[in-house]
Amino acid sequence: MRLKSIELNGFKSFSKKTVLEFTHPIVCIVGPNGSGKSNVVEAIRYVLGEQSMKSMRGKAGTDLIFKGSKQLPKGNRASVAIYFDNSDKIFKLTNDGGEDINLNYDTISIAREVYTDGLNKYILNGSEVRLKDINNLLASVNVGSSGHHIISQGEADRILNASPKDRKEMIEDALGLKIYQYKIKESERKLERTRENMKEVVLLRRENAPHLKFLERQVEKFEKAKKMSAELAILYREYLKKESIFLENEKSHLAKEKSKILNELKGIDAKISDIPDETSRTGNKKIEELREVEEKVNEIRNEKNEKGRQLGRIEGILEAKENKVKIAGRCPLCGNEIKEMHPEQIEKRQNEEKELQALKNSHTSILAEMKNLEAAEKKGVQSIETLKQAINKEMESLRDKEREKFAWKVKYQELSSNLELINIKEANVSKGEETFQNEVREGRALIGEEILSYKTFSAQDGSVPGGQVLINPEEQEELRKKIERIKIKLEDAGVGGGSEILKEFNEVSERDKFLTKEMEDLAESVKSLEKIMADLKEKVDVEFKEGIKKINIEFKEFFTLMFGGGSGSLSVIVENKKKKRDEAMEEEGEVPFEEDETTPEQGIDINVSLPHKKVKELQALSGGERSLTSIALLFAMSQVNPPPFLVLDETDAALDEANSRKYGDMLEKLSKHSQLVVVTHNRETMSRASMLYGVTIGFDSASKLLSVKFDEAVAIAK
Ligand code: ATP
């Protein structure tokens, strides 16, 4: 890495584009007072990112723009570009993520521009970048931002004037530890960001937690329900299978029973109808007949009595008549007498005889009639007897039939009742089937289509030879109760949309897992950042101490050389600095910390011991002595860790001739490791330069640059 050139354009007194090439180890810039030499040094400061306007002798960025003159218009921007040889690819730059940015350029150019509106730009190889990037980039090549390697005019003893803490910073910078400080700062920022992220993650997780917990519980419930469903499915399979078998058995059994009873009923019905109800009618006819016969017999008897009475009367008359005839009718001469008897009479007698004969005839006929009647009566009585017997017999047989019919009717009734019972049972089976279907429907709602698997389930238990399966109702009842219990539990669990919940749970828990992982990663990076920081701090600490030792060796040497004796050394001191009070906090009425709270702060003390003098305090040194001490220290620092270049603006101003020579010797020594850009009026210093630039300022108030020879330089410098 080498400083190649610098290009000023509109910067301060350099109104036009002016290029300084640094092709030699020692380049001197010479010129009269006010010609613009220091402006070149400031241009270098400026382009390297100087933030202090004061150190560039301005108030605002716009002060750096060429102000114009009578002859020349004012500029609208000031621009400086610096070029470094990077063929060894030493420049490094990382992005905010810590990754290397490709800087595979042979030349690194850094440009900085300021515009009349105050706008400031940093450009790295044509791309606009941030100041931070410039600082990091330069730190990688040991060009620190503290500017220890650029000594402005009148600032030769800057390090002496600086506070112990600022000195420490300058020395750290000179030792090239700034890059580590940047890294520590960067790590601190990262750590802070990481901790912020952690807080965010914690918040996010906390935010998620109740939802996750809820979902977890839901999923737990769901899993439980799933288990229960599985259990239910098993129970259902057995229960439904057995139930279906039971219903089937019951149905076929009842159907058989029913058809048997129906057959029996049919037979009984036939039997009952075979016994006619009209059997009594036959009996009735006979009774009618008997009544008729009895009537007839009565009639006959009445007639017989009548005939008897007639007969009695006739017999009485006949007796009376016969007696009369006997008397009159003692008829010794019977026929003769009648002829001899009175005619009237005779006539009368004849009449009487006639009458008697008639009576006798009647008697005979009545007797005959009586005989007939008696025969008829006998016949009638016989008939009555026969009829009565027949009727009795018929009645007897009728009663038997009735009894039989009654018995069948009773049987019929009994079977009808049985049939009724079977109908009721069948209705129950139907109801059972309905219940069964409802159960299947309910089951389907609970465990889905799996419910139908009961159909293929083989209920082995209780099977008897012949393939029939006997169902134990008690066991079925047990199963049913178990099923009911699980159903209730499932309903209580009330987990609908399980898959949705599971999906959401997976998402939320994935997110939580992600956040946990993120948290672990963040904790891991906190750890590694802390480790990195500790390592860096350790490294800085070690290298700082080492550096101080080395500087002290060089310092002593340069000091003795400059002063011809005596000694100079650096020592690390720890100051207990009072903590700065936070005024804003105080205004709020809060006391941020105790009045006497302090923080330890490391700093650097410079100890000198001049030859032949007792003076040890820096304040007591003369201007020249201060310059010599500063130069000795500065050169010692540069010797230990040579910066790529050193810019010295009239650092030699206070030196006498003898010391100027020593200064020149030291320049040559330093130039072996660092390029030197030296602004000087000193002839001795000029004589050590291998390249000289003369700066002049014309009547147009614009600085001009020209390459000059030593003699010209000496002339110009005056
Ligand atoms: P010395 O030898 O006395 O230290 P020098 O050569 O270092 O002098 P500088 O201090 O670099 O001189 O130059 C200062 C000159 O630059 C002054 O004349 C000043 O007017 C001029 N100058 C400063 N800022 C501007 C500006 N913005 N525009 C024009 N000229 C400026």
Phi, psi of 93, rounded to the nearest 5 degrees:
-150, 135
Nearest CA to ligand 1 atom 29: 13
> Virtual CA dihedral for 79, 83, 89, 90, nearest 10 degrees?
-80
Nearest CA to ligand 1 atom 5: 34
* Alpha-carbon span 229 to 218, nearest angstrom: 16
* Alpha-carbon span 481 to 461, nearest angstrom: 19
The answer to whether 718 and 712 have CB atoms below 8 angstroms apart is: no
Q: What is the Å distance from ligand 1's center to 36 Cα?
A: 4
Q: Which of 8, 9, 12, 703 to mutate to test the pocket of ligand 1 (most atoms within 8 A of CB)?
A: 12
The answer to whether 237 and 453 have CB atoms below 8 angstroms apart is: yes
Q: Which of 8, 30, 35 to mutate to test the pocket of ligand 1 (most atoms within 8 A of CB)?
A: 35
- Map tokens 């906090």 to a residue: 585
For the four alpha carbons of 323, 327, 331 and 335, in that order, the dihedral sign comes to: negative
In the predicted model, residues of the chain with pLDDT beneath 50 are: none
Nearest-atom number in ligand 1 for the CA of 78 is: 27
Q: Which tens digits make up the pLDDT trace of 267-285?
A: 999 988 888 765 555 567 8
Buried b (16+ CB within 10 A) or exposed e, 689-717: bebbbbbebeeebbbbbeebeeeebbebb
What is the pLDDT, as a whole number, of residue 418? 93
Q: Which of 8, 18, 37, 39 to mutate to test the pocket of ligand 1 (most atoms within 8 A of CB)?
A: 39
Q: What is the Å distance from ligand 1's center to 702 Cα?
A: 9
Nearest Cα to Cα of residue 118 among 171, 158, 59: 59
Q: Which CATH architecture has domain 1-143+646-718?
A: 3-Layer(aba) Sandwich (3.40)
Q: What is the Å distance from ligand 1's center to 708 Cα?
A: 20
Residue 714 amino acid letter: V
What is the pLDDT, as a whole number, of residue 328? 65
* Alpha-carbon span 598 to 663, nearest angstrom: 42
Report how far apart the first and last C-alpha atoms of the chain are (Å, whole number).
35
Q: What is the Å distance from ligand 1's center to 34 Cα?
A: 5
> Virtual CA dihedral for 342, 348, 351, 356, nearest 10 degrees?
-110
Q: How remote is the C-alpha of 509 from its chain's centroid?
A: 6
| Runs of H (alpha helix) within 330-342 | 334-340
For the four alpha carbons of 637, 640, 646 and 649, in that order, the dihedral sign comes to: positive
Nearest CA to ligand 1 atom 21: 13
| 3-state SS class at 81 | strand
| 3-state SS class at 597 | coil
Q: What is the Å distance from ligand 1's center to 173 Cα?
A: 29
* Alpha-carbon span 111 to 598, nearest angstrom: 42
Rg (CA), the chain: 77
- CATH 3.40.50.300 in the chain: give the residue spans: 1-143+646-718
Q: Which of 9, 14, 38 to mutate to test the pocket of ligand 1 (most atoms within 8 A of CB)?
A: 38
Nearest CA to ligand 1 atom 24: 12
Beta bridge partners of 78: 114
What is the pLDDT, as a whole number, of residue 26? 95
703-708: strand order across its sheet? 150-151, 645-649, 675-679, 26-30, 691-697, 703-708
